[in-house]
Amino acid sequence: MAIQDIYPTALRLLGRPVLVVGGGPVAARRAKGLLDAGAKVTVVAPIASEKLRGLVDSGLLAWEQREYRTEDLDGVWFVQTATGTPAVDTQVANDAEAQRIWCVNASDHESSAAWTPAVAVVDDVKIAINAGGDPRRAMALRDAVATALETGGLPLRRHRKPGANGSVALIGGGPGDSGLITVRGRRLLGQADVVVADRLGPRGLLAELAPDVRVIEVGKTPGHHPVPQLEINRILVEEALKGNRVVRLKGGDPYVLGRGGEEAEFCRQNGVEVEVVSGVTSAISVPAAAGIPVTHRGLAKGFSVVTGHEELSEVPARPDHTVVLLMGVAQLRESAAALAGSGLPLDTPVGIVENGYLPEQRVTIGTLETIADQAEAVGVANPAVIVIGDVVRVSPFAPQHFKTADYSTITPNRPRVRTN
């Protein structure tokens, strides 16, 4: 049978009787697929595999423990052969042909009246692929298409909207690089009707949206909030109640100093379904972009994440406890003084990473005593993450005199041996 002879379609088998002839692993897989489609499945076979017996014991299908008979086709809408014996499969296929019943002949795909495609399900989309009678080829193509759908490479967005309310997804987009959003986040973004976007999210992904997807800009800058938080909350609920799938695309993680908890609570209070998709928080990822771990064996076992607008008196004032400041550029001098006043040594290393992972990334490294002057001299600006603690010594951007030890995991803090 040539590929041109096939007319692709989908059978709706809910409540309809179907027949599977054979009791081995292939028959079990085909029976399971037919059950998933809602069919009333009868299996005819002298012997049944363990998986098939499990379906029988669960009451999901009927099993006739005997050889096939022509009258087994009476009243059947669809037939699948899987006996492993070509003569038996051919007899079943010929009987089905005579009664004008569609039959998949597992022993001879060339003469089979129907083919079973390679199938994958992503959300409510079912992918079925035939590949010229080559099942391995079909499975490879199916897996590739399914992966593209799951990762947002292909559009899953609905164009026929149901009458019910829409939904909201709060997605952490990471520090700004388009490759650092999660697979789940990318997938939901590809299904969005409306995107409520922050300034620091993965902006490059917005250009990939369909032309009719509405983007509502609500980005904030330090000291300038053109769209107040209460208005953002209202927009999310209003758009969802219109039946839209709304994505709130945020930078970092929505639950790390991102007010995502407030947005989720407001949605639930107003009867809107909400999903929270964690993101790569800038508190950890942006330091990593400059080669600074927030913990490191022999240097720091813990870390605190705060904003520069908060009191720092309760943060452990030790170089071996990393302090990560978010949104802290404007009050860097005050924050450094507060930490010094709490007992943190003035020679504690401090690193500032601006625009982490982006082409304009810049790293400034100094000490608690010098960092404010350095930042002013070079014009450090948000978005920036400030890291305070001995872990800054590990960065390849740190001055050579900071690297006073071997910070490997094998021999932590062993003094370096100078060769010059």
Spacing of C-alpha 114 from chain mean position: 36
Distances (CA, A) of 336 to 4, 150, 320: 73, 45, 16
Q: How many CB atoms lie within 10 A of CB 126?
A: 13
For 247, residues 6+ apart whose C-beta sits below 8 A from its C-beta are 168, 169, 171, 188, 189, 192, 194, 195, 196
Work out the angle between the directed axes of helices 371-378 and 332-341 (0-180°, nearest 10).
170
Are the C-beta atoms of 328 and 337 separated by less than 8 Å?
A: no
H/E stretch holding 96 reads helix 86-98
In angstroms, rounded to a whole number, what is the distance separating the alpha carbons of residues 227 and 339?
33
Q: How far apart are CA 299 and CA 319, in angstroms?
A: 8
Going by C-beta distance under 8 Å and a sequence separation of 6 or more, which residues neighbour residue 383? 176, 200, 251, 282, 354, 355, 356
Name 95's Cβ contacts closer than 8 Å, sequence gap at least 6. Answer: 70, 73
> And the tokens for 254?
């929505």
Verify whether residue 40 is a known catalytic residue.
no
Provide the β-strand partners of residue 307: 326
- Rounded Cα gap, residues 101 and 209, in angstroms: 45
CA-to-CA separations, 405 to 253, 393, 412, in angstroms, rounded:
34, 9, 8
Q: In sequence order, which residues have a C-beta less than 8 Å from that of residue 174 and are 6 or more positions away? A: 180, 181, 182, 201, 202, 251, 252, 279, 280, 282, 285
Give the rounded distance of the alpha carbon of 391 from its chain centre: 30
Catalytic residue (choose from 143, 220, 320, 403): 220
Q: Catalytic residue, from 72, 95, 198, 390: name it.
A: 198
220 is catalytic: yes
The catalytic residue positions are 198, 220
